[in-house]
Structure 1
Amino acid sequence: MKVFGFLLFILYTIIAPFIQFLFYLAIFLSPRARRFHELRLRADIEIKTLEVPNNNLYWLHGASVGELDQAKALAREIKRREKNCLLLLTWVSDSVTERNLIDSPCDYHYPLPLDGPFSYNLILRTFRPKKLILFAWDTWAWLIRSAKSSNCQVYLVCATLGDTSSRNKGVLSYFTKLIFSWLDGVYPAHSILEKDFLSILSSKQKSLMKTLGDTRFDAVVQRIQNTKPNLHFQDWATKNRKFHEGKLNLVFASTYPNSELGIIEWLSTTRLKGRISLWIFPHKIKKERLDTIQERVQSSAWSLSKFSENKPESEIQLMDELGLLAYAYQHANLVYVGGGFQHRIHNVIEPAYFGNPIFTGRKIENSSEALVLESLHGLFRYLSMMELLLDLELKIVNQFDFSEIRLRNKNFVLANTGASQRIYEEIWKHPKV
């Protein structure tokens, strides 16, 4: 079976240049692809000018913003233990911006090249990393193969692999098994995910698997406890809650257009007017999209304003400023977290930290924390947005008691901190300090 996996790897290697060629064609047609390429071109130019000291250097890689939060939490622990080490942080998604790197303790920050047999030569030659730490699920075949060929140990931490993942099914499972056979350690984010990894790890590798937790818990708790939102938001939130005293505040986080349409449709029929207020945080803030939401709601009996308009008395607040969502949860009574009706649910640790009951769509398999929260009855998932909203309304009308859920969700987050320390001690085999 390993031979079959290797044949798939050869096929992947043959196809990779063709995929890169198609990407280069897309540069001429897509501004997004062009920006993706330009960021990597600038990174290559900058890396070629670097003179990296001979200090121990470790490479941390995460796919997108959420995984970078995980990486930054571990990076702080590494820097605490090894003050003179150097850290390289890479990512794939174009949703990562300079703003996401402001609080990074890493020394070097670059987007990851497109995967291929020669893609990582420059990085490996320049930085000479001793360890490559991959977060969650981003296991590019040639990234791992190239690192191993350069005598760099490779670990997958905060690992997630949902039972619905295509990588664990059919022909692709053989390719996945081959890639995982190159890893020096696999550390699931939660014990609930162990069964998914056991099915693809060899007997020898199963001894290298250990559930060490998710560093995102550390990142979330540290950020919430050590930072505060800007004074304008604090003042605005106080006024908003005073205007709507006695009402339940519903926070809709990371909403997508289809979900927003569902909310607008629901507002025209709900019996909860006068009993609730809403804060809506769109997944992406675009003026045209915000204006469309505002126009459609204004035709109803509900009052709506954008956060930037500074009208806290409105029943519905359309949040058009970044960086506020994590702090909004402390003012919420019930929370909808987006992504569950699209590709994968967004961050549920932040609302859970404040004890919020969470409502979402069905696609939560890639989030171990969401799966555990569901098992604790602290998260409710639905097949459609309208089903979700109608059940949410029913729970409010029937005065559903959420008090035990609030306590369980809060305790779940606090009980799962400390993963950064556990991962460091396992990989670096250092005693506690």
Structure 2
Amino acid sequence: MISAILYALFLRLYYSFAQIYAFFNPKGKEWIQGRKRINEDLKSLSKENKPIIWLHASSLGEYEQGLPVAETLKRKFSGHRILWTFYSPSAYTVVKSKDKDDYIAYLPFDFKKNIESFLDIVKPKAVVFIKYDFWHNTIGSIKKRNISLVLAGAAFRENQVFFKGYGVFFRKMLHSFDMIFVQDENSKNLLNKIGVNQVEITGDPRAERVLEIKNKNERNLQIESFKGEKVLLVAGSTWEEDEKLLKSCLPAFIEKFDMKILIAPHEISNKRIASVMQLFKEFKPVLYSEAQKETSNLMIMDKMGLLSRTYKYASFAYVGGGFGKGIHNILEAAVYGIPVFFGPNTDKFIEARELTTMKSAYIVEDKNEFIRLINLQEENDSIKTAILENNANYFLNKSNTSEAVCKYLNKKLAHE
């Protein structure tokens, strides 16, 4: 009872702060205004007499992770429609602009009246949360209506609130899910210890997504021309600390390994790209958008949406973020069976732990270690062959979530 009162107070304070923040920040304003448009976004849904499967993703990363699940659901449940909801304004804006097949809306803020009204309109046959973003009233209302509730692609760590002595209120949400599909054995064991037993290990939906991209085998003639016959290092989603490390290594990479380097910064605003070009000016970098028949050994990617398809040309990959809040998507690179390098902040990333254990990926903290590891790879073809084979098996074993979700929902919905 006390926990419920405190949570209600927390929601009031959270929403009040969001309203104040909206006066000073465009994304904050959209976060508020977008939720006022929910009924408008759902107008056509209420007119169409087709059952709904509701998928929720917190942000764009989780949406990408959940896409294989959504596509499989569409194939298996062709008579149903998909509704995507988002917490993040950036995710909502991007997906709303490009996805014309599915319904797109914001997740209502977690006031009970908002959730009940939303469920009255949508009337979902099933709900699938991707990875996380747990809201107590939302989950509770879905459970009370006996709607099938699934969590897919989840990963848990021992230091999370669910596994603390004071986490009873939060554990209740996990118990409300009819089925939880997790990425690894550790997550399953943690859930079992708190009495959550409706758990199955199916891997990471991102593995399915990157396999799909790889199998399309899309060519980029400009990058093919840039690489030529040389060794190529693709450094993706880089931040300033990553770029400082790369700069210190470039002379050895170019002189010793006759390497070409393509750097794709995480942000590609004009200011950010200008800063990267200035940092590497002694290497005479070329921009991807301007490159013709360049002779430079260094290219800076200044166009969005190409990175995951660029790794196919790489002999080595470096993924940024490891000197900051955490690494970005290393699976995009690893799916091509190449050695992947990144900085030390990997604690929250199961895939980093697994791939480093397999010696398919490597943590680098300084120039000497990075150069040593590249040299080791270049001198031992057997290491590269082992990585290629190990990664193929890794992705095969990690790509079961979509089918598992569909199989489970098929059984549940067949009884309705």
Return the TM-score normalized by structure 2: 0.88
Q: CA deviation at 1:49?
A: 6.3
Q: Is the 8 A contact 1:131 1:153 kept in 2?
A: yes
Q: CA deviation at 1:22?
A: 0.6
Q: What SS is found at the alignment partner of 2:342?
A: strand
Q: Deviations over 1:118-164 (max 9, x none)?
A: 33233211111121111112222222112223332221111111334
- What does residue 74 of structure 1 align with? 69
Q: CA deviation at 1:227?
A: 6.2
Q: Deviations over 1:61-83 (max 9, x none)?
A: 11222321232211222221221
Q: Does 1:255 align with 2:238?
A: yes
Q: CA deviation at 1:48?
A: 4.9
The separation in 2 between residues aligned to 1:9 and 1:227, in whole angstroms, is: 51
Matches within 5 A, 1:328-367: 328-367=310-349
Q: Which of 262, 275, 278 in structure 2 is aligned with 1:295?
A: 278
The separation in 1 between residues aligned to 2:96 and 2:357, in whole angstroms, is: 34
Query: Structure 1 residues 116-125 or 282-291, which shifts more?
Result: 116-125
Q: What SS is found at the alignment partner of 2:55?
A: strand
Query: Structure 1 residues 77-86 or 360-369, which shifts more?
Result: 360-369
Pick closer, same or farther for the CA change 1:164–1:176 going to 2, 3 Å: same
Q: Which of 288, 297, 300 in structure 2 is aligned with 1:307?
A: 288
Q: Is the 8 A contact 1:124 1:150 kept in 2?
A: no
Pick closer, same or farther for the CA change 1:347–1:105 going to 2, 3 Å: farther
Amino acid at match of 1:347: N
| Identity %, equivalent residues | 24
Q: CA deviation at 1:393?
A: 0.7
Count of aligned residue pairs for this structure pair? 406
- What does residue 96 of structure 1 align with? 91
- What does residue 144 of structure 1 align with? 139
The separation in 2 between residues aligned to 1:422 and 1:325, in whole angstroms, is: 29
Q: CA deviation at 1:333?
A: 1.3
The separation in 2 between residues aligned to 1:29 and 1:419, in whole angstroms, is: 41
Q: Is the 8 A contact 1:62 1:135 kept in 2?
A: yes
Amino acid at match of 1:238: E
Q: Is the 8 A contact 2:162 2:171 kept in 1?
A: no
- What does residue 186 of structure 1 align with? 180
The separation in 1 between residues aligned to 2:98 and 2:169, in whole angstroms, is: 36
Pick closer, same or farther for the CA change 1:136–1:362 going to 2, 3 Å: farther
The separation in 2 between residues aligned to 1:87 and 1:74, in whole angstroms, is: 11
Amino acid at match of 2:355: L
Query: Structure 1 residues 143-152 or 289-298, which shifts more?
Result: 143-152
Q: Is the 8 A contact 2:202 2:398 kept in 1?
A: no
- What does residue 393 of structure 1 align with? 371
Q: What SS is found at the alignment partner of 1:29?
A: coil
Q: CA deviation at 1:328?
A: 0.9
How much is the aligned-residue C-alpha RMSD, in angstroms?
2.6
Q: Is the 8 A contact 1:55 1:85 kept in 2?
A: yes
Q: CA deviation at 1:26?
A: 0.5
Q: What SS is found at the alignment partner of 1:89?
A: strand
Pick closer, same or farther for the CA change 1:25–1:85 going to 2, 3 Å: same
Q: Does 1:212 align with 2:202?
A: yes
Q: Does 1:174 align with 2:168?
A: yes
Pick closer, same or farther for the CA change 1:196–1:360 going to 2, 3 Å: farther
- What does residue 212 of structure 2 align with? 222
Q: Which of 281, 303, 324 in structure 1 is aligned with 2:306?
A: 324
Q: Does 1:284 align with 2:279?
A: no
Q: What SS is found at the alignment partner of 1:126?
A: helix
Amino acid at match of 1:241: K
The separation in 1 between residues aligned to 2:353 and 2:85, in whole angstroms, is: 28
The separation in 2 between residues aligned to 1:396 and 1:83, in whole angstroms, is: 48
In structure 1, the gaps of 5 or more residues are 1-5
Q: Which is helix-richer, 1 or 2?
A: 2
The separation in 2 between residues aligned to 1:363 and 1:115, in whole angstroms, is: 32
Q: What SS is found at the alignment partner of 1:429?
A: helix
Q: Is the 8 A contact 1:357 1:409 kept in 2?
A: no
Q: CA deviation at 1:235?
A: 1.8
Q: Is the 8 A contact 1:251 1:334 kept in 2?
A: yes
Q: Deviations over 1:214-246 (max 9, x none)?
A: 2222222223323625xxxx221121112xx33
Q: Does 1:236 align with 2:214?
A: no
Return the TM-score normalized by structure 1: 0.85
Q: Is the 8 A contact 1:61 1:133 kept in 2?
A: yes
Matches within 5 A, 1:402-413: 402-403=383-384, 404-413=386-395
Q: Is the 8 A contact 1:135 1:156 kept in 2?
A: yes
Q: CA deviation at 1:88?
A: 0.8
Q: Is the 8 A contact 1:192 1:372 kept in 2?
A: no
Q: What SS is found at the alignment partner of 1:130?
A: strand
The separation in 1 between residues aligned to 2:263 and 2:182, in whole angstroms, is: 33
- What does residue 3 of structure 1 align with? none
Q: Is the 8 A contact 2:41 2:104 kept in 1?
A: no
The separation in 1 between residues aligned to 2:158 and 2:363, in whole angstroms, is: 17
Amino acid at match of 2:224: T
Q: Is the 8 A contact 1:168 1:176 kept in 2?
A: no
Q: What SS is found at the alignment partner of 1:122?
A: helix
- What does residue 56 of structure 1 align with? 51
